[in-house]
Amino acid sequence: MEFKNRILALVIATVSAGCSTFEPSETIAMRPAHGESGDVAVEYAYVANYGAGNVSAYSVDVTTGVLTPVRGSPFAAGSDPNSVAIDPAGKTLYVANAYSNNISAFIIAAASGALTQLKGSPFQAGYEPAGVAVDPAGRFAYVSNGAAAKSSVLGYAIGSGGALKALKRSPFKSGTAPQYVAIDPEGKFAYVPNSGSNNVSGYAIGSGGALTALTGSPFGAGTNATGAAIDPTGKFIYVTNAGSKSVSAYTIASNGALTQVRGSPFAAGTKPLGVTVDPTRRFVYVANFGSNNVSVYKIASGGALSNVRGSPSSAGTEPAGVAVDPTGSFLYVANAGSNNVTAFAIDRNGALTLVRGSPFAAGADPGAIATCRVSAGKCE
């Protein structure tokens, strides 16, 4: 499969159910897998299958990391679903469809993980939407339009039921062929890597959701800047450069401006695409589409990256995206070329070991990744 200007996505959501204990041994536990009432969390995984035009849904065993298909999966989306995002309340899943130029919105059934199309879905987007993200307050959604000749970022207000309504000043100017959309944990800034202009557009998010270019934007990156992930503290952002086999690391200033950390960019595998920071804020994982593996890095106090022992770890064919589950115990890798998802257990040093039964079957061309946990009505 030839690389295109797109990010495919896997999302993990969790809700409360049942009653037992989660006691990881060699895995990292950022928090117990329990809801507010002490019940064990039920996790669901959602994978956008670019080539099949649908979304695969799985339940996740929080003890072992094993994936089991949800009844009714896969669920129909638009043409070439490219990216997914879950709202902070964990009630709505948004899917960017690259070649039907729209956004599918689904209601998530907490008891089963099944998806139902939201009334009014799909919602019109621009040209070849490549990424979708929701702000931490669940008020706004942003979609990058990856078509080089129509490059822009769309902004939407999110209604009480999850419906999308375009903001008055939308769309907003970007660089050429914008890809993933990353929003800082406080919802103050948004960042979009531009694969065609080899840079990162940075924006301040206004009270009404409008985007205003940050001073110094766009910020220089490597060749074919594609993926982006912000650490949970909001101090650092990591951007994959698919064309230059590297990861650019930046510090985020109080005004949102980006400055490359010392030693950046850091070497990765061939054609790095998806990137994620684990919830313990200690490790970065990068899917290397061209070398069929995952680079694992430890984050230093200043944001610099160093390879974890054993890195890179072998994945499936053409891994396009990565996600760490909310406890920091498991890593999931969507493999676009082998149509499956590789699952790893994460040890205390960040190193990876295959989960029993991995890889797990997906649809055609699965890829890029985000995670969330529903607790007290919020996605963590």
Query: The CATH number of the domain where 333 resides is what?
Result: 2.130.10.10
Contact 254, 211 (CB under 8 A): no
pLDDT at 12: 46
Instruction: Report if residue 5 sits inside a domain.
Output: no
Domain contains 4: no
Average model confidence (pLDDT) for the chain? 88
Instruction: Tell which phi-psi region holds residue 292, choosing left (phi > 0), alpha (psi between -120 and 50) or beta.
Output: left
At 147-159, the pLDDT tens digits run: 988 999 999 999 9
Question: Which residue range is the domain that position 254 belongs to?
Answer: 10-379
Strand partners, 155: 142
Cβ–Cβ under 8 Å, residues 359 and 325? no
Cα–Cα nearest to 295, from 251, 253, 338, 333: 333
Backbone angles phi, psi at 49, to 5 degrees: -95, 95
Mean pLDDT of 11-25: 35
Whether residue 71 lies inside any domain: the answer is: yes
Kindly indicate the confidence band of residue 29, based on its pLDDT and cuts at 50, 70 and 90. very low
Query: What's the pLDDT band for 380 if we cut at 50, 70, 90?
Result: low
Tokens 């997906």 found at: 362
* Contact of 129 with 141, CB cutoff 8 Å: no
Is 142 a member of any domain? yes
Decide which of 54 and 8 is more confident.
54
Q: Does the global pTM surpass 0.85?
A: yes
56, two tokens: 């695969």
* Rounded Cα distance, 211 and 192, in Å: 12
Q: With cut-offs at 50, 70 and 90, classify the pLDDT of residue 25.
A: very low
Do the domain assignments include residue 1?
Answer: no
Q: Provide the pLDDT for residue 18.
A: 32
Inside any domain, residue 56: yes
pLDDT at 207: 95
- Inter-CA distances, 186 with 5, 9, 96, 136, Å: 28, 23, 23, 7
Number of domains present in the structure of the chain: 1
Written as six digits, the tokens of 83 are 């990216």
Closest Cα partner for 84 from 185, 6, 190, 8? 8
Q: Exposed (0-12), middle (13-18) or buried (19+): which is 259, by Cβ within 10 Å?
A: middle
**By C-alpha distance, which of 302, 147, 289 is closest to 236?**
302
Please check whether residue 3 lies inside any domain of the structure. no
Quickly list DSSP for 171-229: SEE-SSSB---EE-TTSSEEEEEETTTTEEEEEEEPTTS-EEEPTTPSEE--TTEEEEE
Enumerate residues 6+ apart whose C-beta is below 8 A from 281: 231, 232, 233, 299
From first CA to last CA, the distance across the chain in angstroms is 34
